[in-house]
Chain A
Amino acid sequence: MRNLIGYLLKRAAWMILTLWAVYTVSFILMRSVPGNPFSGERSLPPAIERQLKARYNLDAPPLQQYWDYLVGIVTRFDLGWCMGLEDYSVNQVLAEGFPVSATLAIFALVFAILLGVTAGVISAVYRRTKADVILMFAAVLGIAIPNFVLASLAILLFVFMIQIFPAGGWGTLKQIALPAFCLGLPVAAYIARLSRTGMLEMLTKDHVRTAIAKGLPHRTVILRHVLPGALLPVVSYLGPAVARVLTGSLVLEKIFALPGMGSHFINAATQRDYTLAMGMVLTYTVILFVMNTLVDLAYAIIDPRVKLQ
Chain B
Amino acid sequence: MKSEADRETLERILAEAREVHGVSLWQDAWKRLRRNRTAMISLWCLLTLSVLAFLTPLLPLQSPIDKDLDNRRFLPPNLSSVVMGSRPGLKFAGGTLTGELAEFNESIESLRAQFASDGPDQQRQIEVTIADRIEVEHPFNQMWNNLGPVAWWMCEMRVAIFGDYAIPSLFGTDKLGRDLLARVFWGARVSLIVGIVATLVSLIIGVSYGAIAGYFGGNVDAAMMRLVDMLYSIPFIFVVIFLVTFLGEDSVKKKLDSVGIDQITIFYIVIGAIYWLTMSRVVRGQVMSLRHEQFVEAARTVGASSWRIVFRHLVPNVLGVVIVYLTLTIPSVMLFEAFLSFLGLGVSPPDVSWGLLLNDGVEALSIVKVFWWVVVFPGGALAATLFALNFLGDGIRDALDPRMKNRD
Contacts and interface: CB of A to CB of B under 8 A. Distances in A.
Interface stretch (B73-81, B137-145, B375-383): B375-383
Interface residues of A, number: 58
Interface string A131-151: 000000000110111101100
A144 B238 contact: no
A159 to B, nearest CB: 8
A32 interface: yes
Contact of B403 (A204, A266, A305): A204
A144 B245 CA distance: 32
B365 to A, nearest CB: 4
A306 B397 contact: no
Interface stretch (A15-23, A93-101, A218-226): A15-23
B345 to A, nearest CB: 13
Contacts of B375: 149, 152
B255 to A, nearest CB: 18
A210 to B, nearest CB: 15
Contacts of A281: 233-235
Given A14-B222, A32-B242, A33-B238, A197 B233 contact: no
Residue of A21, A144, A145, A284 most packed against chain B (CB within 10 A): A144
Interface stretch (A46-54, A63-71, A77-85, A230-238): A230-238
Residue of A159, A240, A265, A303 most packed against chain B (CB within 10 A): A240
Interface string B215-259: 001100110011001101111011101100100000000000000
Interface in A149-167: 149, 152-153, 155-156, 159-160
Contacts of A29: 234-235, 238-239, 242
B289 A288 contact: no
A33 B245 contact: yes
Contacts of B245: 33-34
Nearest to A161: B367
Contacts of B230: 18, 21-22, 25, 285
B286 A233 contact: yes
A265 B237 contact: yes
B367 A160 contact: yes
Nearest to A21: B230
Interface string B372-393: 0001000100110011001000
A194 B234 contact: no
B278 interface: yes
Given A146-B358, A149-B375, A240-B278, A305 B292 contact: yes
B335 interface: yes
Contacts of B335: 146
B358 A17 contact: no
Residue of A30, A33, A159, A305 most packed against chain B (CB within 10 A): A33
A305 B365 contact: no
Interface in B327-379: 328, 331, 335, 358-359, 361-362, 365, 367, 370, 375, 379
Contact of A277 (B235, B286, B390): B235
B226 A14 contact: yes
A193 B397 CA distance: 13
B17 to A, nearest CB: 28
Interface in A242-294: 243, 265-266, 269, 277, 280-282, 284-285, 288-289, 292
B324 interface: yes
Interface in B266-318: 277-278, 281-282, 284-286, 288-289, 292
Residue of A141, A193, A235, A265 most packed against chain B (CB within 10 A): A193
A148 B362 contact: yes
Contacts of B284: 236
A22 B234 contact: yes
A190 interface: yes
A156 B365 contact: yes
A288 B226 CA distance: 11
B320 A197 contact: yes
Interface in A19-65: 21-22, 25-26, 29-30, 32-34
A19 B233 CA distance: 9
B367 A269 contact: no
Residue of B229, B375, B383, B390 most packed against chain A (CB within 10 A): B229
A26 B282 contact: no
A299 B282 CA distance: 12
Contacts of B159: none
Contacts of B130: none
Contact of A144 (B235, B331, B367): B331
B321 interface: yes
Residue of B225, B234, B401 most packed against chain A (CB within 10 A): B234
B386 A140 contact: yes
Nearest to B292: A305
B226 A299 contact: no
Interface in A293-309: 299, 303, 305-306, 309
Contacts of A32: 242
Contacts of B401: 201
Contacts of A265: 235, 237
Residue of B218, B238, B242, B286 most packed against chain A (CB within 10 A): B238
Nearest to B370: A156
A179 interface: no
Contact of B321 (A30, A194, A282): A194
A69 B293 CA distance: 49
Given A33-B245, A144-B383, A289-B229, A25 B365 contact: no
A309 B213 CA distance: 13
Nearest to A236: B285
B143 to A, nearest CB: 30
A288 B324 contact: no
Given A140-B387, A144-B331, A145-B379, 8 more contacts: A141-B383, A156-B365, A233-B321, A269-B235, A285-B230, A305-B289, A309-B221, A309-B222
3 smallest A-B Cβ distances: which pairs?
A236-B285, A285-B233, A144-B383
Interface of B: 217-218, 221-222, 225-226, 229-230, 232-235, 237-239, 241-242, 245, 277-278, 281-282, 284-286, 288-289, 292, 320-321, 324, 328, 331, 335, 358-359, 361-362, 365, 367, 370, 375, 379, 382-383, 386-387, 390, 397, 401, 403
10 contacts: A29-B239, A33-B245, A197-B320, A197-B321, A232-B286, A243-B232, A269-B235, A285-B230, A305-B289, A309-B218
